[in-house]
Structure 1
Amino acid sequence: MRVLITGATGLIGQGIVKQCHERGIDVNYLTTSISKIEYGNNYKGFYWNPKTQDIDKQCFKGVDAIIHLAGASIAKRWTPNYKKEIISSRVTTTNLLINTLKGESHNIKQVISASAIGIYPDSLVNYYDESFKHFGKTFLSAVVQQWEQAVNEFSKLNINVAKVRIGLVLSKEGGALQEIAQPIKFGFGAAFGSGKQWQSWIHIEDLVKLFVYILEYNLVGIYNGVAPNPVTNKELVKAIAKRLNRPLFLPNIPKIFMKWLLGEMHAILFESQRVSSRKIEDKGFHYNYNYLKPALKDLLGK
């Protein structure tokens, strides 16, 4: 099997590439940086530039499936221009793949796209599964809705479509966990707002495994990329502090302060989504890290 990956050099993409190779799956990947192009037997790079609609069509050669991860980071200040970039980087890249495939002879039978749990409304009481349809009205929800609508167009090419709505990814290589842990290490850790907002998290190892599981079993539909046991923001911060053996002296950080500091982007720290993992578990998928404590032990040591 050979899979084409967009976003292969990112945090999740690197893990998927590694696991694909461990399972004998060859990888083609698309990159906007010519300097990142490699060309080996099981790992071949190809150039694309979604902004100019350029793509090396050789990237599809011998490919059975696409794993689509490309998208600009949401962890930057949301200026009007950057908000357009967040949407465009997801929708434009998807449209470029689809429009190029329309004119190509190919053997691609499956697309697995990243998505996000930000599509669900902010709620302290709801427990969301993939059948939920009354989406939120926030910017993040609008982004994910447009993203998923674009990805659905692959089905018109007789390609099976799967979407993974990713939660808070915990990794030792970067991302949310390191951002939360850093101030705690120096004694400045605190929960955000009430601290009651739900954090549906997942260990990077399980998320990578989940993508490859969907690939190997050719699963179709939407799957929540979260661990089975979400926690509140307060529980998350306390668990990290305990693992790092650091006290939490500070009061919770007020929402108004973070809004002043981060602008509209502050929403990602305060929105609450408690999300179910039951659907992928019912398909036979098993998590290595069902609970936060062992996940943090693996990622933070000590």
Structure 2
Amino acid sequence: MAKNVLITGGTGFIGKYLTDVLTANGFSVSVLSRGDRKNTDAVTYYKWDLTRNYMDENAILNADYIIHLAGEGIVEKRWTEKRKKVILESRTQPIELIHSILEKHNKSLDAFVSASAVGIYGAVTSQNICTEETQPANDFLGLTCQQWENSADTIGPLGIRTVKIRTGIVFGKGEGFLKKVAPGFKAGFGSILGTGKQYLPWIHIEDLSQIYLKSITDAEMHGAYNAAVTDNTTNSGFSRILANLYGYNLWLPRVPEFILKIVLGKMSEAVLKGQRVSSEKIEKTGFEFQYNDIEIALSSCLK
């Protein structure tokens, strides 16, 4: 029988794309869903409800692998204290539930793979290139990712290989980051944010999905891996390239930092700061990026 991969957050942008990749590679896929969904030939759905701390135990018991993608969006709403709590708990609470079910039934897995983010290195802009050995930052993004990964690390002592994928900004056709920013650029109103010097660690959805596939099939992978192209892309460079792909040069003035801070509050840190990250560790596993040129990557998403 085909090995089963259970995905939390499987109905989101990355989860849906990853489901197609996994099924194309001979895996069966299960997805945890809050709503009632009918099973298909490719996907089996199980119910969960984090507000009641509930998860259908059969989802865990039937899984060979678990990929944890669930989590509230970082830039969906202002970072009030209540919102920060929601962002963190939406990432850690599912792992606590999974851990309790695995432990209760003495259930083993071939691997547990958790999403994380390059935000672990903090909302700062510097010339440093962050590796997996770089210390987590002491700001909201850094601390959130650190606690997220600490939760994932509780699975390892159960004798389960654990992998953490520190993801950059994900480019995909009509989804994710581009779904938010592309319409304005397409309408001719693209602009640079702040100084534009903040780095923009990015990855194409196809490459990210292949990294997740490799993380479950490569038994040598464990621990944290950066999932972002190592280049010098900044917000300014990204903005100019995207405008050019839509057939014009940027003409609007930069959006001043103080305006973004007024509109977004502390959340402005997520768009005004950014560091480069190293992809050396994932590439040493034999992984090769299919998209390592940002213009080609963006062009493929706009077709």
Q: With structure 1 as the length reference, what TM-score do the two structures score?
A: 0.95
Q: Is the 8 A contact 1:184 1:246 kept in 2?
A: no
Instruction: Indicate the larger mover: 107-116 or 72-81.
Output: 72-81
1:12 matched residue in structure 2: 14
3-state SS of paired residue (2:226): strand
Paired with 2:199 and 2:167, the residues of 1 have a C-alpha distance of 14
Paired with 2:214 and 2:174, the residues of 1 have a C-alpha distance of 22
1:228 matched residue in structure 2: 230
Paired with 2:181 and 2:232, the residues of 1 have a C-alpha distance of 16
Q: Is the 8 A contact 1:255 1:270 kept in 2?
A: yes
1:178 matched residue in structure 2: 179
Quote the RMSD (CA, aligned, Å): 1.3
1:282 matched residue in structure 2: 284
Q: Is the 8 A contact 2:60 2:101 kept in 1?
A: no
**Quick check: 1:249 aligned with 2:273?**
no
3-state SS of paired residue (1:71): coil
- For 1:176-215, list aligned pairs within 5 A: 176-215=177-216
Deviations 1:24-71 (A, max 9, x none): 1011111122x2x33345421111112212111111233211000010
Paired with 1:61 and 1:136, the residues of 2 have a C-alpha distance of 36
Q: Percent identity?
A: 34
Deviations 1:176-232 (A, max 9, x none): 123222222222211111111110100111111111111111321111111232401
Deviations 1:122-157 (A, max 9, x none): 132100111112x21221111101101111000111
The unaligned stretches of length 5 or more in structure 1 are none
1:91 matched residue in structure 2: 92
Closer, same or farther in 2 for the Cα pair 1:81/1:294, shift >3 Å? Answer: same
**Quick check: 1:30 aligned with 2:32?**
yes
The unaligned stretches of length 5 or more in structure 2 are none
Paired with 2:39 and 2:201, the residues of 1 have a C-alpha distance of 38
Paired with 1:124 and 1:172, the residues of 2 have a C-alpha distance of 30
Q: Is the 8 A contact 1:11 1:173 kept in 2?
A: no
- For 1:54-93, list aligned pairs within 5 A: 54-75=54-75, 76-93=77-94
User: Aligned-pair distance for 1:84?
Assistant: 1.0
User: Aligned-pair distance for 1:244?
Assistant: 0.7
Q: Is the 8 A contact 2:168 2:202 kept in 1?
A: yes
2:148 matched residue in structure 1: 147
Paired with 2:267 and 2:225, the residues of 1 have a C-alpha distance of 25
**Quick check: 1:39 aligned with 2:35?**
no
User: Aligned-pair distance for 1:23?
Assistant: 0.4
Instruction: Indicate the larger mover: 109-118 or 176-185.
Output: 176-185
User: Aligned-pair distance for 1:99?
Assistant: 1.2
Paired with 1:137 and 1:28, the residues of 2 have a C-alpha distance of 36
Paired with 1:173 and 1:185, the residues of 2 have a C-alpha distance of 12
Deviations 1:100-125 (A, max 9, x none): 21101423131110000001031321
2:300 matched residue in structure 1: 298
2:129 matched residue in structure 1: 127
Q: Is the 8 A contact 2:174 2:302 kept in 1?
A: no
3-state SS of paired residue (1:198): coil
User: Aligned-pair distance for 1:79?
Assistant: 2.1
Equivalent position amino acid for 1:117 in 2: V
Paired with 2:99 and 2:232, the residues of 1 have a C-alpha distance of 35
2:53 matched residue in structure 1: 53
**Quick check: 1:118 aligned with 2:119?**
yes
3-state SS of paired residue (1:3): strand
* 1:240 aligned to which of 242, 253, 257: 242
Q: Is the 8 A contact 1:165 1:223 kept in 2?
A: yes
Q: Is the 8 A contact 2:165 2:225 kept in 1?
A: yes
Q: With structure 2 as the length reference, what TM-score do the two structures score?
A: 0.95
1:159 matched residue in structure 2: 160
User: Aligned-pair distance for 1:14?
Assistant: 0.5
Q: Is the 8 A contact 2:60 2:98 kept in 1?
A: no
Paired with 2:184 and 2:41, the residues of 1 have a C-alpha distance of 43
Equivalent position amino acid for 1:177 in 2: L
Q: Is the 8 A contact 1:63 1:107 kept in 2?
A: no
Paired with 2:197 and 2:245, the residues of 1 have a C-alpha distance of 20
